[in-house]
Structure 1
Amino acid sequence: MISNIRLVDGSNIYEGRVEVYDGTEWGTICDDDWDINDAQVVCRQLRLGPAIQAPMRAHFGQGTGPIMLDNVRCSGSETFITGCLNRGMRVHDCGHSEDASVICGVNIRLVNGSNIYEGRVEVYDGTEWGTICDNSWDINDAQVVCRQLRLGPAIQAPRQAYFGQGIGPIMFDNVQCSGNETSITDCPKRGMRVHYCGHSEDASVVCGK
């Protein structure tokens, strides 16, 4: 159900104006009652990192479609933004100058390296951090990770827990990026938490500076 929400007009995939699809067209959310709990649900639904900010007042520009939701009041634990309390679809008293936005954290990180350019790759699924199994892991996969973290080009794609074993769940296995993807989550793979691995097979990267 990820496809019924998107972020628009941000400078990267982790931020933007929140838009919702109601089955016929895309529209925005009014910022009445908008806060970090609402942003948390959006970031989790999009499988991005934890919410950092919940900008209001069309921070990323005004939308042009209908205003889909108003007075959204999430607890922060909901799975979908449409599952939060609201006035009802397309019921509002707003203009697009009040379009709501989010800024999410990066959903990937490098751990246990000697600097910020290397380490074991860990992915955040909206609830916790976990590792990637090194089956099929190669320089193309590393290239996507390095680009996603805005580091230099991939230099190495170490396998077999080169930077130590993780302790969380194993999130991905058989990752097969072409190298051009925007996010590691866009690459072909087995599916979230579907794997036949142990942490001795945790994948890593070494990026250029």
Structure 2
Amino acid sequence: MTSSLPAGLRERKKAKTRAAIREHAMRLFEDQGYATTTVEQIAEAAEVSPSTFFRYFPTKEDVVLTDDFDPLVIEAIRAQPAGTPPVRALLDGMRAVFDLLTEEAWTAERRRQRLIAAIPELRTRVMQQTAAAIDMLAEVLAEREGRPADDLRCRVIAGAVVGVVLAVAPPANGPSFEPHDLVRVEEALRLVQDNFRLD
């Protein structure tokens, strides 16, 4: 059955429901522990059914692990001027998103990252998502350069940037990324450029 609400209003309603589910889930995780909180409890607190919960988040883990910034970063990378070197396009795309975040958004992100740092199974999933992050960035770089999605050059560049981000701000150390960390990432990439040689 298709909703009779106008498209814009429908999307706002979905976004509001999704935010409510996440907010109540985070509160319950903090108040009573991640492991003991059930999907049913989250759904009840958010005043939705469990089936509605699963329409927004495939698993309980995904409430915390879903990074809402990823689609924005991809679009910002895609929007960088033609001819921008790949690493610069990645960094400037990230900066374009992070520079516009409000303090409220950063507070919510730090809260999310604190939970990830505190819960071993979430930290494990984050590390497993590293390969997905490389895929995501490599594909948008390949798209920009008119190369195949599995292009080795694009994958290596994406892998280097993701590796540097992990080195600068590892998830186990708390909030995994702060606005100033992009400067450190640039410094770290220069270290890679200047110090890694095969001969």
TM-score norm. by structure 2 comes to 0.29
More strand by share: 1
Which is bigger in relative contact order (C-alpha 8 A, separation at least 6)? 1
